[in-house]
Amino acid sequence: MPFRAPSSQSAPAAPDARRSAGGRRTLLVALTLCAALIVLLLAPFHVSLYWQRVISMAFMFATLAQAINLIAGFAGYPAFGNVVFFGLGSYAAAIVMVRGGSFALGIGVAVLTSLVTVLLVGPVLLRLRGHYFAIATVGLNEMVKALASNWGPLTGGGMGLSVPLPPWGPAESAQVFYYLLLTTMVGSILIAAWLKVSRLGYACRAIRDDEVKAEAMGLRTTTVKTAVWALSAMLTGVVGAIYAYWFSYVEPPAVFDMLIAIKFFVMFLLGGAATVFGPIVAAFFVEFVSTVIWSNLLHYHLGVLGLGIVLIVLYMPHGFMQFVRDRGSLLAVLFKPKG
């Protein structure tokens, strides 16, 4: 059962009142975005290395959540095991860099690996739907993980690979990865925003709402689904490559970890499917909450996170953005014209 796109205008209002309210909203959103971007650009100069790392982590997960949003939110295909591209990307970059290639080349190969993988398995797996598709992608992840653990000469097997360290000192290195991940996240937002208004995006939503009808209308559904999954996979692969350089070590259980997949899936769900900013906001929220839980309740963080997930599903089944919208948009409450 696919998600229904949240309706953008929930309150019925007179046409021109609505237009002016819409104009004000756009302005407010633009201002908020600019402010957020400036704060994030300046943040590394004002916060400790620890928090810089936490925020970088939030950027990383925000990008991953946006990537899953492309295939699961827009096209309605829950690629539960999308973390496979994270692992593939990080291994591709690691293998290139261990052999003396540059980081840029590593990213290129990571993108290419993800793309080729989707082109190979996409047309087959995308014939499945719902649970079957979800678990088949998990199966794909397990298969690639087994391959990475056993193909010793290329991947180092269970020992993993040590990636050459960045040439900068720790403080500069932290800043480099901060800005790199920030750029990737902004890129992912732009991709989602483009998808929202592009032909491909409309095709995706048509497929999500009724695939049979979409096909009857002449849509090449397999091509569309494969294209959008490739987009999602390449984005995930880039993040994986950056992760490999950032952590300078990859091993199968760490980069093919289903917990990563669950985390970005929860962020995506909490943010609301097929929204442009939902997954980003939710990723920041979840990342900070889980950091706080982790540092305060080490022994019970898994259980507390699990409880959090269950509560979210119970009380915010349509995500964060819709939760706020249903309660009369916070912005609208704050900036309601008097009278």
β-partners of residue 249 are 162
Q: Are 84 and 256 in contact (CB under 8 A)?
A: yes
The smaller minimum CB distance to other proteins, of residues 124 and 333, is found at 124
- What's the closest the beta carbon of residue 189 comes to other proteins, in angstroms? 22
SS3 call for 161? strand
The DSSP code for 73 is I
Work out whether 65 is an interface residue with other proteins (CB under 8 A): no
Residues 280-299 that bind other proteins (CB under 8 A): 299
The smaller minimum CB distance to other proteins, of residues 113 and 141, is found at 141
Q: Could you tell me which of 187, 160, 151, 179 has the C-alpha nearest to residue 276?
A: 187
Of the candidate spans 111-119, 121-129, 208-216, 240-248, the one that interacts with other proteins by CB under 8 A turns out to be: 121-129
Work out whether 317 is an interface residue with other proteins (CB under 8 A): yes
Integer Cα distance of 86 and 88 in angstroms: 6
- What's the closest the beta carbon of residue 9 comes to other proteins, in angstroms? 24
For the chain, the C-alpha Rg in angstroms (whole number) is 21
Integer Cα distance of 299 and 301 in angstroms: 6
Torsion of CA 132, 136, 137, 140, to 10 degrees: 180
- What's the closest the beta carbon of residue 235 comes to other proteins, in angstroms? 20
- What's the closest the beta carbon of residue 307 comes to other proteins, in angstroms? 6
The smaller minimum CB distance to other proteins, of residues 155 and 184, is found at 155
Q: Which of 28, 105, 309, 331 binds other proteins (CB under 8 A)?
A: 309
Q: Which two tokens stand for residue 1?
A: 């059962």
Q: Which two tokens stand for residue 117?
A: 């993988």
Q: Which two tokens stand for residue 327?
A: 């309660």
- What's the closest the beta carbon of residue 313 comes to other proteins, in angstroms? 5
Chain centroid to Cα 130, Å, comes to 20
The DSSP code for 317 is T
Q: Are 186 and 276 in contact (CB under 8 A)?
A: no
Q: Which of 163, 185, 189, 266 binds other proteins (CB under 8 A)?
A: 266
Work out whether 300 is an interface residue with other proteins (CB under 8 A): yes
Residues 134-173 that bind other proteins (CB under 8 A): 134-136, 138-140, 142-143, 146-147, 149-150
Torsion of CA 10, 16, 17, 22, to 10 degrees: 60
Work out whether 5 is an interface residue with other proteins (CB under 8 A): no
Q: Are 331 and 25 in contact (CB under 8 A)?
A: yes
Q: Which of 47, 112, 119, 262 binds other proteins (CB under 8 A)?
A: 262
Residues 166-225 that bind other proteins (CB under 8 A): none
Stretch 230-259: interaction string toward other proteins, x if CB under 8 A = ----------------------------x-
The smaller minimum CB distance to other proteins, of residues 78 and 89, is found at 78
Q: How many residues line the site for other proteins (CB under 8 A)?
A: 45
Work out whether 264 is an interface residue with other proteins (CB under 8 A): no
Work out whether 129 is an interface residue with other proteins (CB under 8 A): yes
E-state strands within the chain? 161-162, 249-250
The smaller minimum CB distance to other proteins, of residues 132 and 335, is found at 132
SS3 call for 126? coil
Other residues' Cβ atoms within 10 Å of the Cβ of residue 259:
9
Integer Cα distance of 129 and 76 in angstroms: 9
Contact set with other proteins (CB under 8 A): 1-3, 72, 78, 80, 124-125, 127-132, 134-136, 138-140, 142-143, 146-147, 149-150, 258, 262, 265-266, 269, 273, 299-300, 302-303, 305-310, 313-314, 317
